[in-house]
Amino acid sequence: MTDQSKGLESQSLESKSFEPQTVSCPALFLSAPGSGDGKTTFTAALARYFKQQGKIVRIFKTGPDYLDPQILAQASGQDVEQLDLWMAGEEYCQQKLFEAAQAADLILVEGAMGMFDGDPSSADLAARFNIPVAILMDVKGMAQTAAALVTGMANFRDDVQVAGLIANSCGTERHAELIRNALPESLPLLATLPRDPAVALPERHLGLVQAEEVREELEQRFNAGVDWVAGNKITELPAPVEFHSAPVPTVEPLLKGKRIAVARDIAFSFIYDANLRLLQDMGAEYQFFSPLNDSEIPAADALWLPGGYPELYAAQLGKNQLMQESIRAFHDSGKPTLAECGGFLYCLETLTDLQEQQYPMLGLMGGHGAMRGKRGCQGMQTAVLPEGDIQAHAHHRSRSEGTAEPISYGRRQRHAAPGEAIFREAGLTASYLHLFFPSNPAAIAAVFNGTFEKAEAGLFESSLEKSKAG
């Protein structure tokens, strides 16, 4: 029997021997007709309410979001995971919910955009794991129409269980009564929330402001949010939901002994906890450093420059010459660097901020970055690399120009046009794409190990052509 046959037989035996476990935990999925109805504000307030009651609240955020989880983690006092059926996979999502249910008194899942938007959508995630959905709707300027809209949403799909309506921006008791009386008995009015600017979360061009920047202000808003939701039926624990364990793939120690320097401060904070855990599981040690405040990177075998808000701190980044010299020296040594979105902009020669001021960046690769107001790119893409495909997403409001020819392009989830350009110069791999490491641990390990044999052997051309063709 060949080694490959032995491996397949072993995997088959492991699959047959797996017996899923089941645990129950109260759970609620919070969705809305669209963005801007107040999902994160309400989820944070509800989590803080139950936290003050002594409950352990675990929150999950639908989709590839960095900012909302920061807010929700502070509100709940617990780590917040991203769940996405396309990016992470069904079994990954299943296992994370199971692990949370083992320790939590309540699981909350915040949806993304509108309930049925995207493929997969929030409704797909709620249906797959049988989590009842509370629809949060800003009802300002409507009454019975709100009931009509939520009734339509509740009946749009047979596999989604809608628990009821949360009416945000509900002006008066009469306003609430009009909505309540128009709802069918199967759709109760779970909560009525008055307009209250004291609970609204601060925002900027890519979404909410990072929690680290406004921690004290957030605490005030969370505490105001507790009063905002108190006295509503929504503050009763929902019914328990059964969650089942999933087969957990074995993670090989592909980065054993490797030291990885990871940029993390208020300019570079878009980091999935799942990515950090995977690096550890593969045997790596990582150490954070601040491109804003430190003078050099820590001793490392590889460097990771994640996304964030370099455009807001471009002047400070440009003035930190010691840090720039340290990163350039690391790059010149030939060691591998992964730069994502904001980290990619940092690697260019210059960056022009929202006030059209230009600042010098690292210059690890040719090209210039510039902010462009409300225009940008977002969406799910697969990063097509010589080492293998990695699930990813893009979310930026900037452009780059003057860069060299990319080695590849992201493959969009549902669109034929080429996605984000992917660059590789010496040991640097750079792109606007944010990578979800657990989607391909072997490829990520190869990037951080700096082993690019596949590209050198000419085995990448067909994959590159596919990425260009969409």
pLDDT, one tens digit per residue, over 393-413 is 998 788 899 999 999 999 998
What number of other Cβ atoms are within 10 A of residue 247's Cβ? Answer: 14
Q: How confident is residue 385, by pLDDT bands cut at 50, 70 and 90?
A: very high
Question: Given pLDDT bands bounded at 50, 70 and 90, which one contains residue 3?
Answer: very low
Q: Which CATH number does the domain housing residue 89 bear?
A: 3.40.50.300
Residue 391 and residue 441 in one domain:
yes
Q: Are residues 228 and 286 in the same domain?
A: no
Across 304-331, average pLDDT: 96
pLDDT at 414: 82
- Confirm whether 251 is domain-assigned: no
Residue 463 pLDDT = 47
- In the block, tokens 């969370």 appear at 222
pLDDT band at 211 (very low <50, low <70, confident <90, very high): low
What is the CATH number for 309?
A: 3.40.50.880
- Is 331 found in the same domain as 287? yes
Q: Averaged over 46-71, what is the pLDDT? A: 94
pLDDT of residue 375: 59
Residue 138 located in a structural domain: yes
What percentage of residues in the chain have a pLDDT greater than 70?
89
Active site residues: 341
Q: What is the pLDDT, as a whole number, of residue 198?
A: 82
Same-domain pairing of 349 and 462:
yes
**Rounded mean pLDDT, 278-290:** 98
Computed on alpha carbons and rounded to an integer, the radius of gyration of the chain in Å comes to 23
Distance CA 347, CA 368 (A): 9
Tell me if 413 sits within 8 A of 420, measured CB to CB: no
Whether 298 and 423 map to the same domain: the answer is yes
- Same domain? For 223 and 284 the reply is no
What average pLDDT does range 43-63 have in this prediction? 96
The mean predicted confidence, pLDDT, of the chain is 90
Same domain, 240 and 330: no
Query: CA 407, CA 464: separation in Å to the nearest integer?
Result: 7
CA nearest neighbour of 79 among 52, 105, 53, 61: 61
| Domain boundary, last residue among 244, 270, 303 | 244
Among 9-18, 220-229, 385-394, where is mean pLDDT lowest?
Answer: 9-18
pLDDT given for residue 395 in this prediction: 86
Give the CA-trace dihedral at 163, 164, 169, 171, to 10 degrees.
-150
* In a domain? residue 250: no
Domain containing residue 447: 259-469
Q: Which of 244, 269, 302 is the last residue of a domain?
A: 244
> Would 386 be classed as within a structural domain?
yes
Does residue 301 sit within a domain?
yes
For the cut 70, the answer to whether the pLDDT of residue 465 exceeds it is no
In a domain, 117, yes or no: yes
CA distance 190 to 170: 12
Confidence tier at 10 by pLDDT (50, 70, 90): very low
Of 209, 244, 279, the last residue of a domain is: 244
Q: Residue range 27-54: average pLDDT?
A: 95
pLDDT surpasses 80 at 130: yes
Domains in the chain: how many in total?
Answer: 2
Q: How far apart are CA 463 and CA 461, in angstroms?
A: 5
In a domain, 211, yes or no: yes
Instruction: List, in order, residues 6 or more apart from 465 with CB less than 8 Å away.
Output: none
Does 238 share its domain with 313?
no
Do both 28 and 160 map to the same domain? yes
pLDDT tens per residue across span 138-185:
999 999 999 999 999 999 999 999 999 999 999 899 999 999 999 999
Confidence band (pLDDT; 50, 70, 90) for 5? Answer: very low
